A and B are shown apart, each in its own frame.
Chain A
Amino acid sequence: MIKAIFYSKFDTVEGPKVVHQVPDGGIVPSPTAPSQLPLLIFSDVSFFVIPRQELCGNLLQVCTNGYRILGYPICMKSARYDRNEFIFNFCIVLAEEDDFSTYKSVVQKIADLMHGLEEQNGFLSRDFSKSGEGKIYSLCEMLMEDLNNYCECMIPIGTFVSCYIPTLLTRFLDDLNTLNIKLFPIYPSPPPVKAWQVPLFMLRYQAFTDENWDLTMQRIVPHINGVNSVRLISILADTDFSLTCRALRHLLYYGCLFLLDIFSFSAIYAPTAQFSTTIASDEAMQLECARYVNLRFAPHPPMGPSIPLAQSTSANGSTSNTVLSASLTDPSLTQEARFDAEEIWPLLGEESTPIPDTSIVHKPAIVDGAALVELYAGLKQGQSVKQWYAQHSRSLANIDIRRFITFGVIKGFLYRVHKYACATGQPAPPPRSSSFTPTGHSSRVTTGTNTPYAVSSLGEDGVRREGSQERAGSLMSGKGAGSGTPSAFWEDEEEEVVSDEVLGRYLDGTHCVDQICTELEMSERELTARLKRYPGEVLILHR
């Protein structure tokens, strides 16, 4: 919020002087507004407002009395001025602790404009109106009001006919002299986009795209669905990869996108420290989660959006929207919520063994909020989604697994445990030995789940197929891009498609498996097999 705007100039008689101020009396006491107490003592800051000419032409700010004064003093030299120079400054006063970054450009722009106006016809130096009157005062007034209320302004500045410039030209200039200012928030630059990341729209892109957009952007946008990796998007959209990254980064900057990882059933997810404060204590979030993951609300073709082709795509777009904004605008959701609060919760799958249920609950058993939390809590390091699914298949019967995971990642209480391959330079250990055997408990160490490979090798595809049949295709989306590349024709015994040299470059421990798979265009399974044939020991780190 702008607290005050004032126009100050160097008066050859009085020295630095406040000519116009909004609010009246806000900077120096004014006879017209005796009740207004000045925000600050002008004499304390006059040197910064009207500095020595060496400092003019720079953005100056000074803090005093809890306020921050931003100004851009301008010094103009001309024979037409007393002492041959004219120094002025339009200053904006903000609260000291407020963010001032967006206003820097404002003072600068005002200074530039006024400089131009003064040059054209002495707009400032010929203004002899009293304090609190005249064009400059109303300009300041409008500026402050509009920026505070609307964060933008469009103020036409009429200049009077000047003897320096022909009338016609002046009129022409009048039209041009409009002060257009908009306050833009400044965001941090997002980090570079990686090929193996998976963008997901946080809002409906259909609502704001138009044909004037950048061509790359227009082409990639339909492929952003929370499933396709960046690389896959660039392939599908047939766009240059680096341009794709730039376009995505642009969307990221404005917070339109969220970056996920490539989902697969061999991936590992685990809770973060945000777990207890988010999903585990926030019942609204549990509801939101249920809505998002419940297959009951999964869009079916008839009620899906009008673009049948991009069924899964648009579905993702729209529902993620509801997830993230928890918007009540989605008719289906509010309707459901009002219909029966309990129907939001996914049903338990059928199972032969009845749970000892002594309560009066007659309705089919449901996965309620606490149960969802328990499901999330069941995800842990060293355990793939597949294994987790196997343990909780009943509860997960009516839950879209990919969305379930995605929800946690978006909300920040889950993180993907990435795998990194690291070649140690040691000779490869005898096949299938435990990765670590100095302990007396080695038998426990080697039990299935601990061996990094076990999670990714066996039967993964089987589960996926099974799951997808069961689930009306919504799980088809679970197929990661990395494993989705057609590469089944590779045979182990044939000549290596990826040479040891190329592969070795990825084995310094800084490249995660997603990256290796994406860049070498192989599935994780193939990579695992390939790593076993790598000469020398390769360790897998989970991070």
Chain B
Amino acid sequence: MSSIARPPDPCLVAIILIVRSRTGPRLVFHYPPNPLSENRLKTTTKGGRRISRTRTKQGSKNTDSSSSDDSGLSSDEDEEERELQNQSQSQSQSHAQSHGGGASSVLAGRRASNFALDELLLNATSPAAGDSQRPGSLGSGRGSSMRKRGGAGSDPEEDGGTSDRPDDGPGSSRPPWESLLGVPGSVWEKLLSPSRSWHKRRFEVGINDLALIGWPVFVREDGSWRKQRRKKTKKPRADWDGGELGHNENAEDGPKDERFMMSPDLGASVASMADSLISPTESKRGSTSGRPGKPDETFDPEDKDHMTMFNVVFVVDPPLLEYSMRVKEIYDNVIKKFAKALKWEQARTDYVWKESQHILQVRRRARETKTSTHNLYSELISQSSLARAIYTVYSSISASKIASVSLSPDVSISLQIPPLTSTPCLAGPMDKSYPGLWLTTADSATPVDDPGADESNTPHQVLAKHFALLLLDSEAAIIKDVEASGGALAPALAHYIRCSKPTKSFAQISLSSGIPLPHIQMLSSHLVYWRRARAIPPIHQRDTYIVSPNCDLSKLEIATVAYQTAFPTYPSLPKMLSTLSGTPRPYSNFIPSKDHKEIYFTILAWLLRGGWVTQLRTFARIKVSPEVKMAVEMALRKEEVDRYLAKGASNSLSIESDSEHEEIGDTHSSSSSSLDSHESGEETPMPGRVDPQARLRFSHKLLDRSTALRLSSFILSPHRASPLESRWLDEIVRRFPDNPKTDQGEENASPDITPNDIQTIHKKYWPVFLKYFNGLDALEKIPVRENLKRKLVWQVLMRLGLVTGPLGSMDLDAREQVLVSVRHW
């Protein structure tokens, strides 16, 4: 079907599991067996100098950006050429490699000097010339089979450095899986088993363009893997907190840390939601073994080795310019959560260590039997749940999918890097664009929505109740998945999905179905987080939809076919889009008859889902005309004068009035300048009585201030109006005709509203609507949120100067036309 949101670029290259025990660190497992192989490995300008890739547009990586001759611009053509070069280079090198069986190292670097000392020196003096001569520096295998052929009799030198390990017999031929990215495992072991200062902290190492990120966990001083609960008997549900909906952040240390937050997949999370929703006590499920894992059985230093640290390291190769963003994304969403889950299981059942030993054993056996890498990996993945978990995480996350990992029958988690679902910004011709992404400003929390919501600490806040749920797959498919995954909450979820309609807000569904609103919000935010649905403003026939400027027309052909299958008897997709292309009109204009309403809503939902259309929303601000400003100014002056008269004679009238005025008119600096001119003027101070001259003076002052007064302006946030703005607003309301042309009103106003209504209409709704006139809140929200009739709202708004569609049936009073509206998504 149509494309869903653009997933983030995971840039995942490999996952490495390192454990450390008394005998030292061991590289237990890595997946894929041969990362950066196949087409991915292309090195940059300087040949095998560094691990690198040209996958991205930052191909040149500006390794030379400090040299002034390199402009740093990598244009398409350059890149292509370079890539071609590199390709051919690596091709030829891999040829050479497969022929000669030479050492293959991505990290060619210094190892090259093992082959030829002179060469290194040569390289050093003239780097550009020498680099390409490093043997095998590029061809870190072309696929595992090739790699095996090339590397089977790999260079003995690699083993030279690994002899410190008991099971690596010196000189023994080294199986291909023992090295990674062309660097022997022993080097990785040393590099990736950091000191204790990294315990439960981000561990980040970079090698050339690769970033290796982990979250190392060390055994506690007392040999356990988690803090002992003081009252562990009373905390039976320490096992599976599941987070709230499984996607909470909780990084702080302390007791909470122990109940790590998991991201259960649809099924598992249903269970965890059941825990949190239905009754907390039921969450004992699977907690029989949930005792804090004091690994008594393994804590036996005498005859048994035991693990002191494990570190799951994710190797990523983010584009240089997106480095920190990508690293943070994968660290927060995947690395940390996965490591926490492992820590949990380690504490509970000594999971990581047991699995590691198992994996190592299989590997030892494979070395003896000279099993191929391929067979070894399929064996590992089928036999070890940890290896399988790493495999799953790698393959799902690198494909930007949700990884559902089960470590044991009891414990499974789901991990994902949440995709971008919508953007308010339309990419210009010079920006990177993500066509197909839903273009809207309607995110589920907006200024009026959630004044108190602090978005920073709640990564996934409760969905606003005035939103509706748009399923991203067919209802049947989702329900099938939900039911297949089982779980205590599956019925509730299925029930809700059946009740849910994109035309009805959560609040409305709650009323009609009887499901409590908080449950609905939780269920839907769950569905949204796990990419099954999207929260949208409810579809309404009176709302306007346009072809999204961000829609992906390159998918038009495929989508047309899909659309055709879904709605065979209705106008084709291009036709529909063409129809929505003209002057924006309410969607009801396109619905042929009442009977077609349902299906046209379904069509609209389909279009919204694929990002083909987006809602055109209306935003407005109040314009204050010079007349209003002037009237307020006059009134203020008059008040001053009155006050002055009441006060009696005083010589400091002007100054006093000025300062008083400043309190009110604080938004205008011009008042202070008028004060200045006053004092510096050679005119004598005002006599202590109001006379015509004083009047004149006032008008002078008015003229001084007139620059601002003579220009109309907007009130940016009416609900936080300054004192002067409040006066303006009052004046605007005062100017609304009390009895607006009753005769015409009867003629033109719609029959729904009696003249009586019109009279009260502003007084009644103005204060209610006022806060929406901030240019940021769509006016479409008003009827939903204030629970008013749409027609009424729009009539009021039209009266206030809103222009939508063809100009009005109503005869409008200029004094009421105070809104300036704009429509965008």
Contacts and interface: CB of A to CB of B under 8 A. Distances in A.
Contacts of B111: 53-54, 57
A420 interface: yes
Contacts of B117: 77-78
A274 B62 CA distance: 33
A218 B1 CA distance: 49
B65 A283 contact: no
A48 B205 contact: yes
A281 B714 contact: yes
Interface in A401-449: 412, 415, 417, 420, 422, 424, 426, 435-436, 438-441, 444-445, 447, 449
A272 interface: yes
Contacts of A52: 161, 187, 190
A370 B711 contact: yes
B782 interface: no
Shortest Cβ-Cβ A-B pairs, 5 listed: A57-B109, A382-B583, A450-B582, A276-B775, A61-B206
A365 to B, nearest CB: 10
A105 B584 contact: no
A200 B770 CA distance: 41
Given A417-B549, A510-B554, A381 B50 contact: no
Contact of A370 (B112, B183, B195, B712): B712
Interface string B561-600: 0000000000110110111011111000111110000000
Interface in A314-343: 341-342
Given A191-B429, A415-B426, A439 B824 contact: no
A356 B197 CA distance: 77
Contacts of A204: none
B822 A276 contact: yes
A76 B74 CA distance: 33
B124 A370 contact: no
Interface stretch (A106-114, A481-489, A520-528): A106-114
A452 B581 contact: yes
A342 B710 contact: yes
B71 interface: yes
Contact of B184 (A54, A78, A415, A539): A54
In which size bucket is the chain B interface? 35 or more
B190 A510 contact: no
Interface string B710-730: 111110100000000000000
B589 A438 contact: no
A452 B578 CA distance: 9
Contacts of B554: 510
Interface in A241-270: 242, 246, 249-250, 252-254, 258-259, 261, 270
Nearest to B624: A370
A55 B110 contact: yes
Contacts of A450: 582-583, 585
A369 B820 CA distance: 12
Given A439-B590, A450-B582, A543-B551, A57 B713 contact: no
Contacts of A451: 582
A214 to B, nearest CB: 11
Interface stretch (B9-17, B318-326, B411-419): B318-326
A369 B716 CA distance: 14
A55 B621 contact: no
Given A283-B713, A370-B711, A449-B583, A106 B66 contact: yes
A62 B205 contact: yes
Interface string B376-402: 000000000000000000000000000
B684 interface: no
Contacts of B523: none
B280 interface: no
Nearest to B111: A54
A102 interface: yes
Interface in B117-132: 117, 120-121, 124-125, 127
Interface string B67-99: 110011111110100000000000000000000
A449 B582 contact: yes
B553 A280 contact: no
B591 to A, nearest CB: 7
B823 interface: yes
B225 interface: no
Given A100-B323, A539-B578, 10 more contacts: A51-B187, A63-B204, A105-B64, A115-B124, A270-B823, A271-B823, A280-B822, A361-B710, A420-B553, A422-B556
Given A280-B714, A541-B581, A436 B75 contact: no
Contacts of A62: 204-206
Interface string A10-43: 0000000000000000000000000000000101
A47 interface: yes
Contact of B825 (A253, A273, A382, A542): A273
A233 to B, nearest CB: 15
B287 to A, nearest CB: 37
A190 B57 CA distance: 9
Nearest to A512: B553
Nearest to B552: A510
B621 A280 contact: yes
B223 interface: no
Interface string A355-381: 010111101001011110110110011
B515 interface: no
Interface stretch (A123-131, A177-185, A470-478, A498-506): A177-185
Contacts of A44: 194-195, 197-198
A109 B823 CA distance: 54
B154 to A, nearest CB: 14
Contacts of B109: 54-58
Given A64-B197, A189-B74, A272-B824, A541 B578 contact: yes
A188 B578 contact: no
B814 interface: yes
B814 A356 contact: yes
The listed residue with most B CB atoms (<10 A of its CB), out of A104, A277, A369, is: A104
A56 B110 contact: yes
Contacts of A1: none
Contacts of A275: 619, 775, 822, 824
A462 interface: no
B408 interface: no
9 contacts: A105-B65, A186-B321, A190-B430, A276-B776, A341-B707, A383-B583, A422-B578, A436-B579, A450-B585
B202 A59 contact: no
B88 to A, nearest CB: 23
B104 to A, nearest CB: 13
Interface string A156-200: 000000000000000000000000111110111111101001000
B197 A41 contact: yes
B108 A57 contact: yes
B276 interface: no
B639 to A, nearest CB: 19
The listed residue with most A CB atoms (<10 A of its CB), out of B109, B113, B208, B713, is: B109
A398 B692 CA distance: 40
B66 A183 contact: yes
A47 B191 contact: yes
The listed residue with most B CB atoms (<10 A of its CB), out of A377, A447, A510, is: A377
Contacts of B73: 189, 249-250, 253-254
B421 interface: no
Given A77-B117, A273-B425, A436-B579, A54 B183 contact: yes
A393 interface: no
B432 interface: yes
